[in-house]
């Protein structure tokens, strides 16, 4: 390979994100789809005129929040107007569930079960030092299956045959751990590794009293609608409450769906080319990071500053007003002149 062709193949760019970085996974896709469906359902023409934020600290005991000054949404019909509010609240999880998987092989079913239980029991004993007791632990039996291999059988007057024979058993179990402090994850993983448990399948996040969270978002959204109505009155646009349709939706976005990854690239040295010693490449690991949803589309964001992965609760409120059209029918007046010369107006409808 010539030096020129090799230079073409070497990426000399600094570390950067992939342009084709993976989009948020299932839940994140549902978020975007759900918001689009809301706009289609109400046939809203949305125009965001500003993206400025004003921060209000929680001096009165309420959580800090950002208010996004957004514009009003108008229907295509000239007598319809829709006011909408997108509210978001970041909430720390109240409890967590970690799931570890382990696999064990053995010569017999009894020996396999004994070996895997030994690893599990040593792990559970160590967990008690972290305050995780038996009531917060569940062992999920996945499977116990025999294992096989091929045995070669040579015959003098026929072809060699391969026979499948049992060699032992394989067992798999999952360990479910419930805990309340996310900072314990590192210690849990360390204890698991010491007991030859290396596969952490997932961590689930749980939040208590979600009804109270949605009530808070609803109240904030209603207050935002009232402010918009007040602003419309200042330009002599009074909306009639008699003709209105309310539409609302809510959902939660969990951290496990909000991790994105990218590949890192570094400059490569040309010393190997100059010395004609050949070029060898190494595996470049993917970088994974938590990436919460953007605040750009939200009028209200409660607890915007976060340090750790959180559960994000979304509430959307839309109110459509149908304005009464003024009567533009041209009215004709009919007048009658009597024989006496009097002029009378006729009431003809």
Other CB atoms within a 10 A radius of the CB of residue 208 amount to 11
**Alpha helix segments (H runs only) across the chain:** 3-9, 26-42, 109-127, 185-194, 210-233, 271-275
Please check the confidence at residue 69 and state whether its pLDDT lies above 70.
no
Q: Give the Cβ contact number of residue 322 at 10 Å.
A: 17
Alpha helices in 128-162 (DSSP H): none
Distance in angstroms (rounded) separating the CA atoms of residues 301 and 316: 12
pLDDT(36) > 90:
no
Vertex 272, ends 266 and 273: CA angle to 5°? 100
Residues 6 or more apart whose CB falls under 8 angstroms from that of 22 comprise: 260, 261
Answer for the pair 273, 3: CB distance below 8 angstroms, yes or no: yes
Read off the pLDDT of each residue in 223-229 and give the average, rounded to a whole number: 91
Report whether pLDDT(42) > 50.
no
Q: Indicate if the alpha-carbon torsion angle 58, 60, 63, 65 is positive or negative.
A: negative
Q: Does residue 317 surpass a pLDDT of 80?
A: yes
Q: Would you list the domain boundaries of the chain?
A: 3-93+246-319, 95-206
Higher pLDDT among residues 116 and 24, named by residue: 116
What is the pTM (predicted TM-score) of this model?
0.68
Contacts of 154 (CB under 8 A, 6+ apart): 160
Residue 126 has pLDDT above 90, yes or no: yes
pLDDT band at 255 (very low <50, low <70, confident <90, very high): very high
Provide the 8-state DSSP code for 296. Answer: T
Q: Provide the pLDDT confidence category of residue 65 given band limits of 50, 70 and 90.
A: low
Q: What is the pLDDT of residue 264?
A: 66
The verdict on domain 95-206 having CATH code 3.30.70.2970 is: yes
Mean pLDDT of 1-15: 36
């Amino acid at each position: 390979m010539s030096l020129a062709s090799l230079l073409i193949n070497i990426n000399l760019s600094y570390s950067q994100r992939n342009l084709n970085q993976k989009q948020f996974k299932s839940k994140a896709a549902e978020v975007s789809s759900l918001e689009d469906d809301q706009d289609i359902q109400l046939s809203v023409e949305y125009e965001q005129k500003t993206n400025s934020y004003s921060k209000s600290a929680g001096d009165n005991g309420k959580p800090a929040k950002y208010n996004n000054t957004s514009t009003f949404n108008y229907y295509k019909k000239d007598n319809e107007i829709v006011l909408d509010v997108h509210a978001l609240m970041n909430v720390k999880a109240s409890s967590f569930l970690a799931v570890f998987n382990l696999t064990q092989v053995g010569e017999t079913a009894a020996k396999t079960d004994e070996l895997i239980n030994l690893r599990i029991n040593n792990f559970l004993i160590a967990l008690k030092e972290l305050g995780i007791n038996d009531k917060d632990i569940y062992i999920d039996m996945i499977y116990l299956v025999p294992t096989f291999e091929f045995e070669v059988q040579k015959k003098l007057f026929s072809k060699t045959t391969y026979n499948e024979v049992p060699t032992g058993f394989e067992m798999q179990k999952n360990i479910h751990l419930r805990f309340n402090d996310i900072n314990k994850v590192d210690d849990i993983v360390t204890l698991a590794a010491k007991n030859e448990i290396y596969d952490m399948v997932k961590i689930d996040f749980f939040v208590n009293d979600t009804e109270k969270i949605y009530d808070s978002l609803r109240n904030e959204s209603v207050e935002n609608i009232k402010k918009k109505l007040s602003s419309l009155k200042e330009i002599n646009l009074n909306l009639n409450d008699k003709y209105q349709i309310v539409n609302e939706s809510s959902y939660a976005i969990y951290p496990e769906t909000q991790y994105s990854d990218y590949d890192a690239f570094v400059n490569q040295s040309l010393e190997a080319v100059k010395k004609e010693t050949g070029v060898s490449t190494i595996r470049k690991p993917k970088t994974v990071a938590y990436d919460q949803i953007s605040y750009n589309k939200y009028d209200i964001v409660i607890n915007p500053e976060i340090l750790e992965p959180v559960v994000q609760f979304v509430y959307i409120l839309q109110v459509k007003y149908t304005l009464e059209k003024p009567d533009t029918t041209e009215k004709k007046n009919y007048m009658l002149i009597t024989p006496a010369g009097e002029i009378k107006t006729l009431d003809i409808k």
